[in-house]
Amino acid sequence: MFNVLVVDDEKEIRDAIDIYLRGEGMKVFKAQDGVEALEILDREKIHLIVLDIMMPRMDGIKTCLKIREKRNLPIIMLSAKGEDSDKILGLNVGADDYIAKPFNHLELVARVKSQLRRYQKPLEMEGESPDIIEVKDLVINNKEKTIYLRGDEVKVTATEFKILQLLASNLGKVFSIKEIYEKVWEEPFYRSENTVTVHIRRIREKIELNTKDPEYIKVVWGVGYKIEREN
């Protein structure tokens, strides 16, 4: 059974999501703000968080940042606004996915299931994916789900790891944004350009010395992204 933490200051929304997810066999914990959410995380094993952005005491952005200091579990952000700026802000601080309110409960359940599937099972690669992938000073451990750069561990989210894993397992192959989204998120691509590009930017900020002249993740303009083979 999966444990899902729903964080929203509106009781009606917390209770509605509780009903939807319990109907899918999940156990739901509820919090009305970020402070209460962090307290629940300290005492319960949570597999996924549905996190509202606008909340009193501690909002979703600050809560997401605090969670990412220690934990790598999937986070789906909720917001009453459907603007791209809110979506990008949520993804920039470490969220894995984003749903705008009002949302369709079938879409919410589908997104939750998709995140749990990706988090629990390894990504199916096109090429062979050995236990250890080394590209220059970057080491990807597929068994331990860790990234090391020049001997130091790089903290990445589950989604960031899978993007790196996909590109590094297929050196030299260019993946379009659509291909990356559908392989990593495991759902049909629909106006999700920002989701992928924000995650790529976050990865670059963690592994590149110069994000304007990246050594690892290269862009092929108008086509997509790749990690080049070493000469």
pTM: 0.68
Task: Encode the chain (231 residues) as per-residue pLDDT tens digits.
Answer: 899 999 999 999 999 999 999 999 999 999 999 999 999 999 999 999 999 998 989 999 999 999 988 888 899 999 876 566 666 777 778 888 888 888 889 989 988 998 888 766 554 444 445 688 999 999 999 888 889 999 999 988 888 998 999 999 999 999 999 999 988 888 888 766 788 988 999 999 999 999 889 999 999 988 999 998 875
Q: Report the pLDDT value the prediction gives residue 165, as an integer from 0 to 100.
A: 92
Q: Report the pLDDT value the prediction gives residue 190, as an integer from 0 to 100.
A: 73
User: Which phi and psi angles does 113 have, rounded to 5°?
Assistant: -60, -40
Q: Report the pLDDT value the prediction gives residue 125, as an integer from 0 to 100.
A: 47
Q: Domains of the chain, with CATH numbers?
A: 3-120 (3.40.50.2300), 132-227 (1.10.10.10)
Q: Is residue 11 exposed (0-12), middle (13-18) or buried (19+ Cβ within 10 Å)?
A: exposed
Q: Report the pLDDT value the prediction gives residue 81, as an integer from 0 to 100.
A: 65
CA distances from 184 to 69, 121, 122, 139 (A): 23, 11, 10, 20
Distance of CA 133 to the CA centre of its chain: 21
Q: Report the pLDDT value the prediction gives residue 82, as an integer from 0 to 100.
A: 59
Distance CA 95, CA 73 (A): 10
